[in-house]
Every structure is written in structure tokens, then in C-alpha cells.
């Protein structure tokens, strides 16, 4: 059998991983056709359109293709400690090196690191598409390599294809693939090495199996999945990283996706944060799907004549994976659909500076909840020093109220009658009125007197923050009727100019949505401080 042709339609493929795999195969064959030198066999793209593709292979062509897919070299990795074998014996490093580090006290100390050999996957065309590339390295391709090695191939036995090519020893994966593709419609076991979430058997004792020609595609989807690093904020306010989140596009137009893919990859941000691409860091796992959709839409917006955004993907499947010893855990999975949520994500993503505030706001967004949802729990479980006391948090609260007010104004076709348009605006005005009048009666300070006098302005800001802090702590310690009593007896103890409609709306909210009013009051005090 000299060559075989496989014809794929997106509509027949059973999952987004398979459809992404077909895109990865197309991109790999296109890249391979541009490489210098004579091809060793047949591995060619014979048809590509919106609905699918056809590919032709012979045995040598598949062998060459796999040599590029699993290309790897021996590299080096630093370790802070000597490694131990399974028998608890010390594994000798290649060498040791000294590093100078600065501790928390600012003292410079010398640290010993141990250099060990490690196989490094190359990444084929991903290296060329890395906007940070320098020689054989780049931030984005390094993230991909690390993810393949520690997560997608986190179990040592799964790394054999890369290790064999790095060590230049014989491989059998291409021969096995060729053998299976000669019976393209036969089925075989579907291992988790290739399909995330696969098991030998499910709870009903049903085996995970796949058709050979579909299973073949699963070698290529990692080249198309976008990789992100979720940040976790500890109780001390410090961030750490938790595994990897993968955004797998569920492709609707194969030709258009493959046409735009290179440019999308080249336009990824080049800024660095914690030795990682800043653009890969996310606060909420679900946002990785929104971010990929944002990138795709942005690229298509430049070429609007080519088609609508919804024509390129049906959605994005998101999986959150983490290495636990020799096991890789699936922490979460979800799906993000194209829609108006992407507009809101673009508006929110870059607006906030404080990590906790941004994370809470984004979580409410992806869950389809009101913008202030989740802040009640944040205020109740987080130390005051990590919320109200942080200038960035207060700035973000102020920005959130401003953004919501703009949205309300832009969507309201009714002429403003002087009454606040929403509960948020009413509470924002009440809190502001309380602080301003208390500054005047208690400290004889007004903005008119202070704004052009540096000394008075400093007093004005200091006393206003102190008043807001006292009120914030008082509100945080009260719930239900106790909160209502404090709100009406303290915050409303000064004249408030919110109109009759405003007072009626506020009274109704206090009675029917007490927790909402309490959360908004805490946010308004943060914003107004």
C-alpha cells in the first residue's frame, strides 16, 4: 500500500480536541511544505476548505511528520536540591552553579543550584510564531514546552516519543500510526495521553475508544490550544500559580482559522511577568476562553470582509490541569460561547489594578452575575488590610462605579429626571454625601477650601479616609437589621440630595435586598475614601 488519503469533515469529528487536532495537522503540513530540503516521503495537504480537509500519507511521510511533531533535544534544567532516584539514591547533577539572590531583608546571599539534563520538546512551527523568539528560545514556546513536559506528558512513560528523538534512538510510534491508518475506520483504545479526560473505563465500565483516523488527529491539537497560567491569591495577598489552563478552540471554519492562526500567534504580547509571558497570566480560569475569543475577533476585525467572527469558532472549551506527583489532575472544565460577554470582558480586563478586585469582578462576569457579586464574601473573609487599606483596591472600586454609571447612561433612553438611575448610584451618592458633610461638621473642611491649598488638601484626604474606614469597619461587622439601623441612623443622618424617587428606591432596596445594599455600601466607602 503506497499511500492513503484521509478525508475529514469538521461535522463528523466528535470533539473540539479532534477539530483542533485537524487544524493542527493542517498547520503542521503547511509548515512542513515550506521547510528546505527534499521530503522523505508523502505527507501532503490535498484539500482545505471551510468544512474540512483531505491529507495524503505514505509510511515514510508519516515517519517524517512524527519526527517534527515530537522533535526534541537534550537541554538543561536548574534544581534547588539534589534529585533522588526511586531507590532514594542521589542522582548526580551535570554540574553545580552559584547564584546570588536577595532575601526579604535585602541581603545578598549565595545559593547553590544543581544542573540536570532534561529533554526539551522543540515545538515545530510554534517557535517561528513566538514574538519573543531569540534563537531556539522564546517565552511563549517555553511555556508550551513546559506545559507539554509537566502536564500533557506529565507521566514519565508518556514522554517516550520525545526522549527517543532527543537521544536519536529508534521509534515505533510512526509505524504504529501507519499500521492503524491502513484500517482507518477500525477502533482502538483512547488513552488520556492524547485525549484529556479519557479513562480505560468509565463508571459504567464502558471503554474509551476512538476510530483510528480520528485518534490520529489527537497528536496535533496541542499545537493549536492556547496555554494560560491561572494565578491564585493567598491570604497574605501574594500570588502563586496553579497548573495550566488550556483554551481549545471548537473550530467552525477550518480554512479561515488556519489562515488567521499565524498572525494571531505573532501578535501575542511580549511583556514579561515572573519569567512568564504577561499575556498568559489569568485571574479566573474561565477567562481564558474569553481571551482567546477576543484575540480571534480582533484579528478578524482587521479583515471584516472575510466573514463574521461567529463563523470561525463555535466556542472554546477550557480545561484546568495540574500536576500532582506523577498524576495529572483535571481541576475544572467549562465552555465559553461567543457573544456579548466578550465585549464586557474587553471593557473589564484592563480596567482594574488590584489582583483581588480584578479576580472578583472577572468571576462575576464569567458567571453571568451582577458586577458586585462576590465582594460580600471577599470583605467577609479577607483582612481589611488587603482590601480597603490598599490604594489600588479603592481606586478600582471607584473605577467600577464609574464604568457602571457610564453603561447605565449609554443604555438609558429616558431623560434624566434628577433621580439616580440605579441602586448603585443611590448608594454611591449617599456615601459621598455622608463623608462630605461629616468632614464639614466635624473638621470644618470643604473641598472648595482645600482643593487649592496643599496643606488643607492633605488634611481633607486624611480625614475623609479615616471617616470612610470607621464606617467601613462598622458596616462590615453588621448584617440584617443591625446593618439597616446603622445605614439609616448614621449614613442617612445627614441631609441627602437623592430626590423622593431615590429615597423610595433606597427604602425598597434596604427591605428587599439588604445584603446587596450592604455590599454596595462597602464598595462605595472604598471608592469614596
**Selection from 296, 197, 313, 294 nearest residue 249 by Cα:** 313
pLDDT (mean) for 238-267? 92
Handedness of CA 460, 461, 464, 466 (dihedral sign): negative
* Measured CA angle at 315 (ends 132, 230), to 5 deg: 50
Residue 310 in this model has a pLDDT that exceeds 60: no
Q: 467-517 pLDDT, tens per residue?
A: 999 999 999 999 999 999 999 999 999 888 888 888 899 999 999 999 999
Question: In angstroms, how far apart are the furthest CA atoms of the chain?
Answer: 95
pLDDT at position 320 is 94
Helix/strand/coil (H, E, C) string of 124-157? CHHHHCCCCCECCECHHHHHHHHHHHHHHCCCHH
Residue 52 in this model has a pLDDT that exceeds 70: yes
- Dihedral (Cα; 372, 378, 384, 387), 10-degree rounding: -50
C-alpha cell, 212: 483510528
C-alpha cell, 468: 470612610
Residue 415 in this model has a pLDDT that exceeds 50: no
Q: Which residues contact 358 (CB under 8 A, 6 or more apart)?
A: 283, 352, 396
Q: Which residues of 43-79 are buried (b: 16+ CB within 10 A; e: fewer)?
A: bbbeebeeebbebbbbbbbbbbbbebbbbbeeeeeee
Q: 331-351 pLDDT, tens per residue?
A: 999 998 887 788 888 888 889
Higher-pLDDT residue of 221 and 197 is: 221
pLDDT at position 202 is 64
Are 465 and 471 in contact, with CB atoms under 8 Å apart? Answer: no
* Measured CA angle at 337 (ends 334, 340), to 5 deg: 130
Higher-pLDDT residue of 403 and 409 is: 403
**Chain-centre distance for alpha carbon 155:** 24
Q: At 301, phi and psi to the nearest 5?
A: -60, -30
Higher-pLDDT residue of 248 and 451 is: 248
Q: What is the DSSP letter of 159?
A: G
pLDDT band at 25 (very low <50, low <70, confident <90, very high): very high
**Selection from 143, 106, 103, 96 nearest residue 123 by Cα:** 143
Residue 155 in this model has a pLDDT that exceeds 80: yes
Residue 418 in this model has a pLDDT that exceeds 60: no
Q: Which residues contact 6 (CB under 8 A, 6 or more apart)?
A: 54, 55, 56, 57, 181, 184, 213, 216
3-state secondary structure of 328: strand
Q: 82-129 pLDDT, tens per residue?
A: 888 877 888 889 999 887 777 666 778 888 889 988 899 999 999 999
Are 363 and 233 in contact, with CB atoms under 8 Å apart? Answer: no
The CA distances from residue 424 to 242, 327, 421, 509, in Å, are 35, 47, 8, 10
3-state secondary structure of 211: strand
pLDDT at position 414 is 43
**Selection from 358, 354, 434, 351 nearest residue 394 by Cα:** 354
3-state secondary structure of 31: helix
C-alpha cell, 335: 465552555
Other C-beta atoms within 10 Å of 105: how many?
Answer: 6
Other C-beta atoms within 10 Å of 155: how many?
Answer: 14
pLDDT at position 379 is 94
Amino acid at each position: 500500500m503506497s499511500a492513503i488519503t484521509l478525508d475529514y469533515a469538521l461535522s463528523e469529528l466528535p470533539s473540539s480536541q479532534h477539530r483542533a487536532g485537524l487544524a493542527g495537522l493542517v498547520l503542521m503540513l503547511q509548515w512542513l511544505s515550506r521547510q528546505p530540503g527534499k521530503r522523505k516521503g508523502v505527507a501532503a495537504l490535498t484539500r482545505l476548505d471551510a468544512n474540512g480537509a483531505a491529507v495524503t500519507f505514505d509510511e515514510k511521510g508519516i515517519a517524517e511528520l512524527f519526527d517534527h511533531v515530537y522533535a526534541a533535544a537534550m537541554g538543561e534544567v536548574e534544581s534547588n536540591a539534589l534529585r533522588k532516584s526511586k531507590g532514594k539514591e542521589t542522582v548526580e547533577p551535570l554540574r553545580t552553579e552559584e547564584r546570588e539572590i536577595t532575601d526579604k531583608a535585602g541581603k545578598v546571599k549565595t545559593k547553590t543550584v544543581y544542573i540536570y539534563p532534561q529533554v526539551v520538546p522543540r515545538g515545530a512551527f510554534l517557535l517561528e510564531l513566538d514574538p519573543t523568539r531569540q534563537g531556539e528560545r522564546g517565552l511563549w514556546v517555553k511555556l508550551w514546552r513546559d506545559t507539554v513536559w509537566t502536564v500533557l506528558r506529565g507521566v514519565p512513560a508518556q514522554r517516550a516519543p520525545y526522549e527517543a528523538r532527543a537521544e536519536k534512538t529508534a521509534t515505533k510510534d510512526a509505524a504504529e500510526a501507519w499500521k492503524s491508518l491502513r484500517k482507518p475506520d477500525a477502533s482502538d483504545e483512547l488513552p488520556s495521553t492524547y485525549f484529556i479526560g479519557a479513562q480505560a473505563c468509565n463508571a459504567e465500565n464502558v471503554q474509551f475508544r476512538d476510530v483510528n483516523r480520528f485518534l490520529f488527529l489527537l497528536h496535533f491539537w496541542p499545537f493549536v490550544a492556547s496555554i494560560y497560567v491561572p494565578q491564585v491569591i493567598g491570604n497574605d495577598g501574594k500570588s502563586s500559580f496553579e497548573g495550566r489552563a488550556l483554551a481549545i478552540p471548537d473550530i467552525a471554519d477550518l480554512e479561515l482559522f488556519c489562515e488567521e492562526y499565524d498572525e494571531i500567534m505573532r501578535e501575542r504580547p511580549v511583556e514579561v511577568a515572573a519569567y512568564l509571558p504577561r499575556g498568559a497570566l489569568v485571574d479566573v480560569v474561565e477567562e481564558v476562553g474569553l481571551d482567546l475569543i477576543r484575540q480571534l475577533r480582533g484579528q478578524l476585525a482587521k479583515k471584516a470582509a472575510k466573514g463574521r467572527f461567529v463563523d470561525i469558532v463555535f466556542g472554546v472549551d477550557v480545561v484546568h490541569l495540574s500536576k500532582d506527583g506523577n498524576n495529572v489532575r483535571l481541576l475544572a472544565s467549562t465552555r465559553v460561547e461567543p457573544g456579548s460577554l466578550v465585549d464586557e470582558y474587553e471593557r473589564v480586563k484592563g480596567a482594574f489594578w488590584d489582583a483581588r478586585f480584578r479576580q472578583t469582578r472577572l468571576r462575576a462576569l464569567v458567571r453571568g452575575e451582577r458586577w458586585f457579586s462576590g465582594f460580600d464574601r471577599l470583605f467577609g473573609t479577607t483582612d481589611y488590610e488587603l482590601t480597603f487599606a490598599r490604594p489600588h483596591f479603592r481606586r478600582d472600586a471607584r473605577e467600577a462605579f464609574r464604568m457602571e454609571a457610564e453603561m447605565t447612561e449609554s443604555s438609558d433612553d429616558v431623560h434624566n429626571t434628577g433621580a439616580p438611575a440605579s441602586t448603585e448610584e443611590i448608594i454611591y451618592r449617599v456615601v459621598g454625601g455622608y463623608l462630605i458633610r461629616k468632614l464639614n461638621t466635624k473638621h470644618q473642611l470643604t473641598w472648595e477650601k482645600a482643593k487649592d491649598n496643599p496643606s488643607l488638601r492633605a488634611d481633607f484626604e486624611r480625614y475623609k479616609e479615616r471617616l470612610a474606614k470607621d464606617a467601613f469597619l462598622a458596616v462590615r461587622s453588621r448584617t440584617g437589621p443591625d446593618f439597616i439601623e446603622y445605614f439609616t441612623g448614621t449614613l442617612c443622618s445627614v441631609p441627602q440630595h437623592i430626590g423622593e424617587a431615590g429615597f423610595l428606591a433606597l427604602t425598597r432596596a434596604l427591605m428587599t435586598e439588604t445584603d446587596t445594599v450592604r455590599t454596595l455600601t462597602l464598595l462605595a466607602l472604598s471608592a469614596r475614601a
